[in-house]
Each structure stands twice: as structure tokens, then as C-alpha cells.
Structure 1
């Protein structure tokens, strides 16, 4: 059994492209790393407090 995929030619015009600036992307990565660092700092301090 063969599967056939077709794409409508007007699909490209109907699609809405959202362009994100590199500034927003950079700020998102900074936020991800900041939250990750804060999380691991809290985990480390909690372990240190419990085992210290």
C-alpha cells in the first residue's frame, strides 16, 4: 500500500509566518540559562544544608 502526500499550491500563501528577532531569541536563551542556574543553585544549597 502506497501513501501519497499532496500539498496544495495555495498553502504557502495562506501560511502566516511569524518572524522573531534575534534579540527575542537571545533573551529567551538567557532566561532559560538563568532559571536553570537558579534551580541548580537552590538544589545545591538544599543538599549542602541537609548534609552539612
Structure 2
């Protein structure tokens, strides 16, 4: 006996949206990490420049 499983369109698109929002959140988190790191190193460079001048 063959069994056929069908997924309703609403269920499938809901899981896809959850996966997309997770990827979007992860991308935003990495951008925040890189931006904070960049600001930190700019502040360090300005501090060094201030001390050496």
C-alpha cells in the first residue's frame, strides 16, 4: 500500500518565512559585530594618533 503525504501551501511557506527571518537576523547580527569592531579599531587608531602627535 502506497502512502501519499501532501503538505498544504500555507504550512510550507510559513516554515520558509521562519528560515528567512532567521537568516536575516543572523546577517544583521554579523553586520553589527563587524560595525562594532570597525568602530573600535577606528577609536584605537585615533587614540594612538592623538598620543603620538
Length-normalised TM-score, structure 2: 0.66
Higher normalized helix content (fraction of residues): 2
Structure 1: state its 5+ residue gaps: 1-13
Structure 2: runs of 5 or more not aligned: 40-53
- Name the Cα RMSD after superposition: 0.9
* TM-score, length basis structure 1: 0.67
